[in-house]
Each structure stands twice: as C-alpha cells, then as structure tokens.
Homo-oligomer: A and B are copies of this chain.
Amino acid sequence: MLSKKTQYAFHALIHLAENADKGPILISEIAQEKSISIKFLENILLELKNAGILGSKKGKGGGYYLLKPPKEIPLAKIIRLLDGAIALLPCVSLNYYERCENCRDEAVCGLNDVMGKVRDASLKILETKTLKDILTRD
C-alpha cells in the first residue's frame, strides 16, 4: 500500500498539472482542494522540488509549478522518491536491494524468482504510465 505521503503527492501533482496554465499555485490552494493538511503537504512539495520535479516561486504571486510536461513524469519516479522500493521484497528491489536474511541462497530461492516477476509486471505499468495518464478523465 502506498503511504499517505505518496498518495497526497499524486493528488497535488494532478492539481498542478490541471492548472498549469494559471501560473504558480499556492500550497494552501492544493491543500484545500484535495483535503490535505497544509503543513504536511508543504513538506511533500518541498521534497518534490528538491528532486527536481517541481519549481517554486516565493512571495506574492508565488507558489509551485511543474518543471516538466506531465507526460515526462513516470509514476514510478514519484513512488520511489517518497515511498522507496516498489518491489515486494528487499531482495528483488532494483533501487533498494538488500540481501535476504532468511534464505540460504537467493539464486535458488523460488520466492525471489516469483517476486521478481511481480516487480516486473508492476514496473511495466508504473514506469510507462506518467502523470499525464492519471489526469481527470473528461
């Protein structure tokens, strides 16, 4: 299950994408629109900014905005940034690998094998689907 943090990030990004023509968007506007605690959202947007996904502007008329078009932001990138691994086991994670402590030999572990397939199936979607694909359907 994705954390609230990641879920909020998706909703915030959706709002930013759908209002990209209106210039910088206030944190407070997103918070209200999506029912997210403003202070919590602040931290999340900051992380997205530090990761190079969002830009910001201070002072009057300031706010946050996307630095790239929505179709260039894969969903996997957001999940990995805020939640970490996408794989179900540390020993099959591409970006957050950790050795399995309970099995003698990963090369021979059948769990490793199946969970690798689950990871691949998920990534096939999460790395090709982008912010553009989750905008409100109308």
Q: Give residues in A with beta carbon < 8 Å to B.
A: 1-2, 7-8, 10-11, 14, 34-36, 75, 84-85, 87-90, 101-103, 108-111, 113-114, 117-118, 121-122, 124-126, 129, 133-138
Asked if B133 and A110 make an inter-chain contact with CB atoms under 8 angstroms apart, the answer reads: yes
In the complex, which residue of chain B has the Cβ closest to the Cβ of A84? B1
CA distance A135 to B108 in the complex (A): 9
Can you name 18 A-B residue pairings with CB atoms under 8 Å?
A: A1-B85, A1-B87, A1-B88, A2-B89, A7-B102, A11-B103, A11-B111, A14-B110, A34-B102, A35-B101, A36-B102, A75-B114, A110-B133, A110-B134, A114-B134, A121-B121, A121-B122, A121-B125
Asked if A133 and B108 make an inter-chain contact with CB atoms under 8 angstroms apart, the answer reads: no
CA distance A126 to B116 in the complex (A): 12
In the complex, which residue of chain B has the Cβ closest to the Cβ of A10? B111
* Chain B neighbourhood of A102, CB < 8 A: 7-8, 11, 34-36
Q: A66: shortest Cβ distance to chain B, in Å?
A: 16
Q: A83: shortest Cβ distance to chain B, in Å?
A: 9
Given contacts A14-B110, A111-B134, A122-B122, 11 further A-B contacts (CB under 8 A): A1-B88, A10-B111, A14-B111, A35-B101, A75-B114, A110-B133, A110-B137, A113-B134, A114-B129, A118-B122, A118-B126
